[in-house]
Structures are given as structure tokens and as C-alpha cells.
């Protein structure tokens, strides 16, 4: 059940109505049932993975809390890590490992052949395993008390709006909200609907229409001119942003109607002046996860320079690997790691630390530079293999003589693209629901009407699932 489907349009109001009709102490039952139903709509069997992961982490948490020292808590933390990462590695990385080992065996003349597995990656596994891992680690360090109520804990792992593609929430921010008695408020209801509406718009009108063009380019880059390829790879930067941002704000809006506040996952990332800022604005819940549970434990920046450089590279490479089992993701992460370090060095050498005035020429030029770097990195992210990525770059630089363009982008797509980019400027450091609330009634409803009409009439009709579902 995807957010831009009829099923979800029917499912969400039913859950919300039942939610407010149910007494507070039983709401966790309703939300848990709804979340499991939501997840089973992809593949029924995979619910057992979530249940298994939930039970292991629940009991690990309880056992850790009973121990007086970190040393005694360690075996339970290891149990949680091995279980969650084991599931993740098995489903996500097994074939990658087997393929590369087989290649290695082949090179050194061994006749070993590790079999490949043909199974569907459980949707959202990277998200919920990271979410539940953060809980186990926090309990281990004593930052979080173990949850005694299995139902609330299970709901924390599986809360449907953010189950399959985040935002990756921390236990301390999400679970207390399940226990609060939320009454229906018009403000939450209106803001939630506004976010859902805008999320549908940017996913269905922007991302899905751009996807048609991007698909053509990546299917056969050799047939397109350099200009077409440049258009295609730039479109992908916008596509992945609008796709994932769209998903995130629908998730945030859906939860908000029930009075539950999820963290913002995007803050106009393409207006970031440098890569470090980009990662403060892009997929915030993941970057803060890596900061808290990988970068800081590695020593953060309170170490020698050489170790700090290594820490940065490790974090970005692991982040790339988190996205998928492919060398393309590792290169994608490495590009960010290296550019992060280079920018840091340049900023220190040339003392470029001063804050730029928003939308000053300097800001816009720096943002454009960041966009170019990110767009280059996205080529690796989008490509199925290194060869494909190199083919895109090769065609970009060599097809300058190709004149007759095969690429056709409908005019309305350009119009909406410009509107979307403009809205990003307007929404700089703001969220759509708050931004639109400041307009007078006529202005608000005019925007709603345009959004509704655009979503219905100009939505892409090809089936492009949310990109981050594959992770």
C-alpha cells in the first residue's frame, strides 16, 4: 500500500476515525494492528521479520536494564546488533557478498560457487532495523529506559506512517507521544492534510513526470546528446528529492492528524552552500542517526586530524552501503566523504566560514556548486552498475555532436518544475503547512485548488514506486 494509492486514501481516514473513537489506553492496539496490516499489504510473510526483530530488541532492552554494568549489558547489545544487522545483511547484502566472493574465487582459480538467493527485499528493512537499533544502543548506554510494555515497543518499531521509508525516529521522541492522550484538533487536522496534499503534488506531479525522462536517459545514454544527458541527470536530482521529500511529508502529515509529530527529514537541501550543510538538510533522520551512532562512537572530531578524516570517510561509505549492496552506492558515499573533506580544507585555508546572507549572489553560487557535486554523485546512485554510470559520463562528454534530440519533456513538466524550484526558495527553512497557514483564506484555497487539480490531472500515470522503498 503506497501513499499515492486509492487503498491508502481509504485506509488513512478509517484509521484516523477509529483512532479518535478509541479510548487512549487502547489506541496502541489499533495503531499496531493498522501498522501490521499496512506492512502485510506488501508481503504477508515479512511481518514475521518485524515481529522477530521486535521481540529480540524488547527482551534485550529489558535484560540490559537489569544489569548493573555495561560489561554485563554487552551480550544483550550484541544479541540485538547481530539479530538486526544479521537480518539486514542476509536480505540486503547476501547476494552482493556471494557475487563478489565468486568473482574473487574465480580470479584465484578456486572452483567454489556460492549460490545466489532469489528473494524480495523486505520493504523498509533498513529503516526499521536502524530505528530499533538506536533503541538498543541507547538502553545499553543508559540514555534510554527500557520499555516494559511490549505493545508500545512493537508500535515504535512498526508505526505505519514512517515504517517503510522513515523518518527514522528515536524511541525517546516517538513512544511518549503514543502514550499521550491526543484529542482531535482542527490545527493538526488541517496541517496534516496540507502536508499530505503537498507531498502528493511533489511525488506525483514532479517526481513521477521527471522519472519518465530520466528512465529514457538511463536506459540508453549513448543515444542522447550531451545536453539531453545533462537534462536527464539534473532531472534525477530533482526527481529523487521530490520523491523522497514527498514521501516524508505525507508520512509526517498522516501522523500529525493523529497528533503525533515526526521529525522533519528535509529542509530545502539544494539550497545548501556546501556538502556538510547538504547533509544537515537531506534525509536528516538518517544523517543524525549516523552522527549519533557511528560518527560520535568513532570519536567524532575530538581525535587527531588523520583519524577524523578516516571517521568522515567511514561514515559516508557506510551511509552509501546502507542504501544498497552495490559498488555504485559505495562510490556515491565516497564522493560525499571526499568532497566534504575537500570543502572543509578549502574553508579553513581560505577562511570562508562567514555566513552568507540568504539568497545573496554568493549563497546562490555556492548552492549551485553543491547541486553540481550532488548531481554527479546521484549518477552513481541511480546507475545499476559502475559500467552504466561510466557510460552516462562518457556519453555526456562525447555526444556533443549529436544534434537531433530524442528527449521530449512536455511543457507542463517544465512549468511545474519551475514552480517547484520556486517553492523551494519560498520554503527555505520553513515547512509547507506553516508557510501556507499565513495566507488569507482566499489565497490558501486558491493554492489548494491548484494543487488538487494538478495532482489529479497532471500526475504521472506510469507506475514509479517511491525510490526509497527499495532500501
Partner 1 sequence: MRLKIIYKTISLIAILIALNFIYQKWFFENDLQKHSDIVNSVRNIPNNADIIYIAESSNKTFREDDKDKRAISDFIGDYYPQLNLHDISNPATHSGIYKVLLASIPKENQVKTIIVTLNIRSFDASWIYSDLETPLQKSMVLLKEKPPLYNRFLLSFKGYDIKTKKDRKEQFLEKWIVDEFKPSNEFQFKNVREWDDWLATKGAKKKENGEYDKENTELACHYVKTYAFQIDTMTNPRIQDFNDIVELAKERNWNLVFNLLGENIEKAKELVGDELVMMMNKNAELLVKYYHNKGVTVINNLNSVEDEQFIDQNWTTEHYAEKGRKIIARNTAFSLKKWYDKDFVGVEIKNSKNYFIPRRFLIAS
Stretch of residues binding partner 1 (CB under 8 A), selected from 14-22, 316-324, 368-376, 442-450: 442-450
202 vs 420: CA distance, rounded Å:
8
How far is the C-alpha of 234 from the C-alpha of 356, rounded, in Å? 25
CB of 326 to partner 1, least distance (A): 20
459 belongs to the binding site for partner 1 (CB under 8 A): yes
Contact between 116 and partner 1 per CB under 8 A = no
Residue pair 199/165 in contact (Cβ under 8 Å)? The answer is no
In angstroms, give the least distance from the CB of 453 to partner 1. 5
> Which of 4, 35, 254, 326 forms a contact with partner 1 (CB under 8 A)?
4
Determine the interface stretch with partner 1 among 74-82, 265-273, 397-405, 446-454 (rule: CB under 8 A).
Answer: 446-454
Residue closest to 456 by CA, chosen among 208, 204, 196, 212: 204
The reply on whether position 463 binds partner 1 by CB under 8 A is yes
Burial bucket for residue 435 (CB in 10 Å: 0-12, 13-18, 19+): middle
Distance CA 39, CA 5 (A): 15
17 contributes a contact to partner 1 by CB under 8 A:
no
Instruction: Rule CB under 8 A: choose which of 33, 384, 461, 470 binds partner 1.
Output: 461
Beta carbon of residue 449, minimum distance to partner 1 (angstroms, whole number): 5
Candidates 182, 283, 323, 363; catalytic one: 323
Measure the CA–CA gap between 445 and 128, rounded to whole angstroms: 37
**Distance from CA of residue 394 to its chain's centroid?**
29
6 lines the binding site for partner 1 (CB under 8 A): yes
Of 108-116, 345-353, 426-434, 454-462, which part binds partner 1 (CB under 8 A)?
454-462
> 283 an active-site residue?
no
Is residue 9 a contact residue for partner 1 (CB under 8 A)? Answer: yes
Report if residue 456 touches partner 1, rule: CB under 8 A. Answer: yes
Query: Is 112 a binder of partner 1 (CB under 8 A)?
Result: no
Binding mask 183-222 for partner 1 (x = CB under 8 A): ---x--x--------------x------------------
Q: Is 118 in the site for partner 1 (CB under 8 A)?
A: no
The answer to the question of residue 452 lying near partner 1 (CB under 8 A) is yes
- What's the distance, CA 182 to chain centroid? 27
18 CB neighbour count, 10 Å cutoff:
14
Closest CA to 420 of 269, 248, 206: 206
For 443, the grid coordinates are: 489565497
d(CA 251, CA 248): 5
| Spatial distance between the Cα atoms of 175 and 155, rounded to a whole number of angstroms | 8
Stretch that binds partner 1, among 132-140, 219-227, 315-323, 452-460 (CB under 8 A): 452-460
Cis before 167? omega within 30:
yes
CB 134 within 8 A of CB 289: yes
Question: Are the C-beta atoms of 453 and 445 separated by less than 8 Å?
Answer: no
Report the residue number, 103 or 457, with the smaller CB distance to partner 1.
457
411 binds partner 1 (CB under 8 A): no
Question: Which residues make up the interface to partner 1 (CB under 8 A)?
Answer: 4-6, 9, 120, 186, 189, 204, 445, 448-449, 452-453, 455-457, 459, 461, 463
* Catalytic residue set: 323
Amino acid at each position: 500500500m503506497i501513499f499515492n494509492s486509492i487503498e491508502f486514501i481509504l485506509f488513512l481516514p478509517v484509521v484516523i476515525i477509529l483512532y479518535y473513537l478509541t479510548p487512549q489506553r487502547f489506541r496502541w492496539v489499533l495503531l499496531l494492528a493498522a501498522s501490521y496490516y499496512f506492512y502485510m499489504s506488501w508481503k504477508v510473510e515479512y511481518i514475521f521479520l518485524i515481529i522477530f526483530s521486535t521481540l529480540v530488541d524488547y527482551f534485550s532492552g529489558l535484560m540490559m536494564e537489569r544489569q548493573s554494568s555495561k560489561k554485563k549489558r554487552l551480550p544483550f547489545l550484541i544479541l540485538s546488533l547481530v539479530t538486526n544487522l544479521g537480518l539486514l545483511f542476509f536480505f540486503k547484502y547476501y547476494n552482493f557478498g556471494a557475487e563478489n566472493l565468486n568473482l574473487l574465487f574465480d580470479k584465484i582459480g578456486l572452483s567454489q560457487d556460492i549460490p545466489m538467493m532469489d528473494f524480495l527485499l523486505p520493504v523498509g528493512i533498513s529503516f526499521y532495523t536502524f530505528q530499533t537499533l538506536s533503541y538498543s544502543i541507547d538502553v545499553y548506554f543508559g540514555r534510554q529506559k527500557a520499555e516494559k510494555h511490549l505493545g508500545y515497543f512493537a508500535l515504535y518499531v512498526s508505526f505505519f506512517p514512517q515504517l517503510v521509508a522513515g523518518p527514522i525516529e528515536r524511541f525517546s521522541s516517538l513512544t511518549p507521544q503514543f502514550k499521550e492522550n491526543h484529542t482531535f484538533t482542527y490545527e493538526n487536522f488541517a496541517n496534516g492534510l496540507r502536508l499530505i496534499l503537498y507531498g502528493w503534488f511533489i511525488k506525483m506531479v514532479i517526481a513521477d513526470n521527471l522519472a519518465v525522462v530520466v528512465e529514457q536517459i538511463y536506459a540508453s545514454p549513448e543515444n542522447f546528446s550531451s545536453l539531453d544527458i545533462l537534462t536527464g541527470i539534473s532531472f534525477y536530482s530533482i526527481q529523487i528529492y521530490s520523491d523522497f521529500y514527498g514521501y516524508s511529508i505525507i508520512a509526517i502529515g498522516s501522523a500529525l492528524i493523529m497528533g503525533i509529530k515526526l521529525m522533519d527529514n528535509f529542509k530545502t537541501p539544494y539550497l545548501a552552500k556546501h556538502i556538510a550543510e547538504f547533509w544537515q538538510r537531506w534525509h536528516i533522520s538518517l544523517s543524525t542517526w549516523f552522527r549519533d551512532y557511528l560518527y560520535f562512537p568513532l570519536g567524532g572530531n575530538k581525535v587527531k586530524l588523520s583519524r577524523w578524516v578516516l571517521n568522515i570517510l567511514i561514515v559516508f561509505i557506510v551511509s552509501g552501503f546502507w542504501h544498497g549492496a552495490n559498488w555504485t552506492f559505495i562510490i556515491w558515499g565516497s564522493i560525499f566523504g571526499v568532497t566534504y573533506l575537500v570543502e572543509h580544507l578549502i574553508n579553513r585555508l581560505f577562511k570562508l566560514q562567514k555566513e552568507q546572507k540568504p539568497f545573496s549572489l554568493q549563497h546562490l553560487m555556492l548552492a549551485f556548486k553543491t547541486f553540481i557535486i550532488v548531481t554527479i554523485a546521484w549518477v552513481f546512485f541511480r546507475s545499476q552498475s559502475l559500467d552504466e554510470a561510466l557510460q552516462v559520463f562518457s556519453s555526456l562528454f562525447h555526444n556533443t555532436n549529436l544534434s537531433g534530440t530524442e528527449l521530449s519533456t512536455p511543457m507542463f513538466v517544465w512549468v511545474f518544475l519551475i514552480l517547484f524550484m520556486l517553492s523551494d526558495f519560498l520554503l527555505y527553512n520553513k515547512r509547507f503547512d506553516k508557510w501556507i497557514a499565513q495566507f488569507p483564506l482566499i489565497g490558501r484555497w486558491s493554492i489548494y485548488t491548484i494543487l488538487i487539480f494538478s495532482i489529479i490531472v497532471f500526475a504521472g500515470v506510469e507506475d514509479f514506486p517511491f525510490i526509497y522503498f527499495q532500501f
